[in-house]
Amino acid sequence: MTVLHLADEGEAADLAAFLSRLLHYDRGAAVRLQAAGTALAVFGRPPSFEVLAIRAVRLAKPYEDGLEATLDVTVSAGELLESVDEAGATAAVPGAVTGPPWAGVLPPRGGWRPQEGLPEPDALRATVAAAVGEFRRRSDALPAESRQRAELDRIGREIWSRTVADTGLPVRAVHAAQSLGFLRAAGAGADLALLSSGAWLRLRTPYGSIAVRRAGAGLGTPSLSVRPRHP
């Protein structure tokens, strides 16, 4: 079994926290792993948000497994979490699983351009709080006979599909960033960026990225390359 040697205990703890959050939303979650050199990218898709979450992890030494210089495999998030040894800063790569459809359509490797208009972190968190509050008010106001999943989903889609300012970034992407621990109170606003490449938008933070495809985009873009900290 391939064992990944992470840069330190902190990297192992952050990886474990990310996997735990994904499993909170989907107990059967799968993640796609891409490793090259001293960087590991972990891709997941929490179904509640309909976005792609990306966590970059630093490795202690370049990835190498026999004659293979890179790793690209989809595995069970739960099995990967069980294999994380925080004290030893290692993680064993579980056996491959049949990947869900999203695992075959990752963001592009390059061509990312900065997008203007992204509010400061505090404003983003306020936007999420306002959206959550609106959803609760509107769902609580529904008559008992109308408080069904279809109607709640309709309200949710309306609220979370709204865009942040004039950026085109859906509010659900910011909500996902906060829920997955990417939009923390600490950290300089300068480390937060909105990027675009082709059909994709990406909210990048020091702790991970959230990528989302623009409405109506087709499939077939090449995979995102593995880079430390900012995949």
At 211-223, the pLDDT tens digits run 999 865 543 333 4
Q: Mean pLDDT score of the chain, rounded to an integer?
A: 88
- Looking from the CA of 137 toward its CB, the CA atoms found within 13 Å total 7
Whether the predicted pLDDT of 230 surpasses 60: no
Q: What token pair was written down for 148?
A: 């069904």
Q: Sheet containing 70-76: which strands, arranged edge to edge?
A: 70-76, 30-36, 39-44, 52-58, 208-213, 200-205, 193-197, 113-114
User: Does the model's pTM come out above 0.75?
Assistant: yes
Give the integer Cα–Cα distance in Å for 163 and 165. 6
Q: What is the pLDDT of residue 218?
A: 45
